[in-house]
Amino acid sequence: MIDAVVFDCDGLLVDTETSWTRAETAIFAEHGHGFGLDQKQIVIGKTLAAAGTAMADYFGRPGEGPALAQRLHDLVAVELAAGADALPGARELVSGLRGRVPIAVASNSPRAFVDAALISAGLDDLFTDVFSADDVEHPKPAPDLYLVACAKLNATPSRTVAFEDSRTGVASARAAGLFVVGVPSLPGVELDVDAVFTTLADPVLTAQVRQRAARSQNGPPSNSAGT
């Protein structure tokens, strides 16, 4: 039985990591660097500010984090304006949970980016509760976003499931005490999770989550042997 389910957004529900990657690739090129899997790992899942700092450190340009974060913001905004699709299985899984168990989104992106991604992917109608990096003082990998989501959903963290695709997000959910399901958005990257799947469309994942949500909706079985 579970109290709630909380989803990351970028790279988990919506195919926005391709948008972020194009923007990041452009910035790395502007500074004379290539961009591959190793470089992606230093920025994926981070807030704009944290990604800017990480890039500044990588480029050997301390103090330029805020400027790089703003550049990343501007490029990603252009990319998202072109639209992004829901990832395979996202709508089906969320639709199957909606009404059975409280659900929410907890994303490290700015509010405007999260809203744009969900609207573009046609998922905005499924979520009443959406939390972004703008809603907490300490975003992921700190536990704050998941703790805020659990509090709003009246859910006990240890009885709440988090879906994440990055190490940063997993660290946040772990720190908050949630059960973590990993669906990695980068190939070959291992996540410290309780369960891992390659896609939200995995039939085993769908069946397990819906079964547990149904149990939670119906409550624990009665003890027919009781007095």
CA-closest candidate to residue 72, choices 88, 94, 50: 50
- Whether 226 shows a pLDDT value over 60: the answer reads no
Query: What does the buried/exposed string (b/e) look like for 173-196 if buried means 16 or more CB atoms within 10 Å of the residue's CB?
Result: bbbbbbbbbbbbbbeeeebebeee
Q: Is 10 a catalytic residue?
A: yes
Q: Write the DSSP symbol of residue 186.
A: S
Q: Is 8 a catalytic residue?
A: yes
- Average pLDDT of the chain is 93
- The catalytically annotated residue of 8, 115, 144, 165 is 8
Crossing angle for the helix pair 203-218 and 90-97, to the nearest 10 degrees: 10
Give me the pLDDT at residue 227, please: 27
- Whether 225 shows a pLDDT value over 60: the answer reads no
77-104 confidence digits (pLDDT tens): 999 999 999 999 999 999 999 999 999 9
Burial (CB < 10 A; 0-12, 13-18, 19+), residue 12, is: buried
Q: Please name the residues in contact with 218: beta carbons below 8 A apart, sequence gap of 6 or more.
A: none
Give me the pLDDT at residue 89, please: 96
Strands (E), 97-191: 103-106, 130-131, 160-164, 179-182
Q: Using 50, 70 and 90 to split pLDDT, how confident is the model at 219?
A: low
Measured distance CA(130)–CA(221) in Å, rounded: 32
- Whether 75 shows a pLDDT value over 80: the answer reads yes
- The catalytically annotated residue of 3, 10, 115, 165 is 10
